[in-house]
Amino acid sequence: MNRLAIIGGGSVGLLYAARLASYHEVTVYTKSKEQAIAINEKGIQIEENEQITVIRVKAAVISDGIAPCDLVVIAVKQYHLSSILPFLRKISPTTPLLFLQNGMSHLEIIDSLPHTYVFLGLVEHGALKKGDVDVTHTGIGTTRLCMYKEYHPIHKELLTNSTDSFPFVEEHDWHYTMIKKLIVNAVINPLTALYRVENGMLPSVAPFRQNMEQLFAEVVLSLGINEGKEYWASILMVCEQTAFNRSSMLRDIESERQTEVDSILGYIISEGEKRHVDVPLATFLYNSIKGLEKKQKK
């Protein structure tokens, strides 16, 4: 049984800790001492289909350092990566790292680390944190596992231990896989967050769909993509499959949390500037979301 360190006590961190505890010895590293104590005392209470299961895992405060382990899963939001960098740098460079962030901006941070074995995980599950130990698995998806640096055997073990309720799928082209997910997030997340609607509303309401199409056109041009039919089909499929879901960016706005707009639309705008592509709608949406974030801080 491998020893897994999961950094982050948010919805994704709690979900992965609970699901991976079936095959691994899991320790969750949290920011607050209170959450670590609560997890150690109560376990993680995961809800699915109105049934609650208690999963026992260990927990510790990240400021106390990360104990030697066989894999570190980084499940914090992209904008929190810089705050945990000092702890990541203290981990042995031969310990594999798995990053679960949205967007593409965090790749620069990953490249600054000395670690030999690095994987990227694209999370397609739905998860909602309801308390320090409470998480709801709102939708079964997939973890798309990409090798970013050199191969390590634990990569195969994650795939081997894949289950129907928590599957891992290997993707051989990390760049294509991340770009595809980025495009989906760049179109769905900011529009649903601004309109305060569920995903399925975007293609089904004509004015929303018109803005979807315009935003999509800006996104693919910014990324230097000439043929976008496949990516547009992916967006529509996600909207259909998650029609009644509220995007993570919308939930962040509703919960008055910081969003990942910088790593998603911020990246798109930056890429557009490099290619001299105008992105008026993407810029409007980026500024709108940033404005909502600042409004909530007052």
Do 158 and 181 lie in one domain? The reply is: no
Same domain, 98 and 238: no
181 is catalytic: yes
Residues 23 and 144 reside in one and the same domain: yes
Q: Which residue in 181, 207, 191, 174 sits closest to 253, CA to CA?
A: 191
**Length of the chain in terms of residues written:** 298
Q: Hey, what are 77's tokens?
A: 């939001």
Give the pLDDT confidence score for residue 295 in this predicted structure. Answer: 75
Question: How many folded domains does the chain comprise?
Answer: 2
pLDDT for 111: 95
CATH of residue 257: 1.10.1040.10
pLDDT at 170: 96
Q: Are residues 290 and 166 in the same domain?
A: no
Domain endpoint, select from 127, 145, 172: 172
Boundary residue ending a domain (125, 153, 172): 172
> What confidence score (pLDDT) does residue 141 get?
86
> 125 and 256, same structural domain?
no
Task: List, for residues 50-70, the tens digit of each pLDDT value.
Answer: 899 999 999 999 999 999 999
Residues 134 and 214 reside in one and the same domain = no
34, 92: one domain: yes
Terminal CA-CA length for the chain? 47
Q: Based on the domain organization, do 163 and 185 belong to the same domain? A: no
Instruction: Report the pLDDT value the prediction gives residue 110, as an integer from 0 to 100.
Output: 95
Determine the pLDDT at residue 89: 96
> Based on the domain organization, do 31 and 137 belong to the same domain?
yes
Q: Which residue has the tokens 């499959």?
A: 241
Query: So what's the pLDDT on residue 298?
Result: 57
Give the end of a domain, one of 131, 154, 172.
Answer: 172
Q: Which domain holds residue 222?
A: 177-297
Kindly give the parts of the chain with pLDDT less than 70: 296-298
Identify whether residues 9 and 122 lie together within a single domain: yes
Three-state DSSP at 51 gives strand
Looking at 149, 181, 274, 297, which residue is catalytic? 181
Residues ≥6 apart with Cβ < 8 Å to 118: 96, 97, 98, 99, 110, 148, 149
Q: What is the DSSP string of 259-293?
A: -SHIIIIIHHHHHHHHTT---HHHHHHHHHHHHHH
Are 101 and 70 part of one and the same domain?
Answer: yes
pLDDT at 165: 87
Q: For residue 268, what pLDDT is reported?
A: 97
**How far apart (Å, rounded) are the C-alpha atoms in residues 170 and 9?**
25
Using one digit for the tens of pLDDT, what is the confidence trace for 146-173? 999 999 999 999 999 899 889 999 999 9
* Strand ranges in 152-250 using DSSP code E only, listed in sequence order: 168-171
Q: Are strands 143-147 and 118-123 parallel, antiparallel or unpaired?
A: antiparallel
Residue 297: per-residue pLDDT = 64
Are 269 and 256 in contact by the 8 Å Cβ rule? The answer is: no
69 three-class SS: coil
Two structure tokens written together for 170: 């290997």
Task: Identify the pLDDT of residue 223.
Answer: 97
pLDDT of 288: 97
**177/225 Cα distance (integer angstroms):** 14
Largest CA distance in the chain: 55
CATH of the domain at 86: 3.40.50.720
The residues, any chain, with a CB within 8 Å of residue 172's CB and separated by 6 or more, are: 146
For 176, counting Cβ atoms within 10 Å of its Cβ (0-12 exposed, 13-18 middle, 19+ buried), the class is exposed
**163 with 181, same domain?**
no
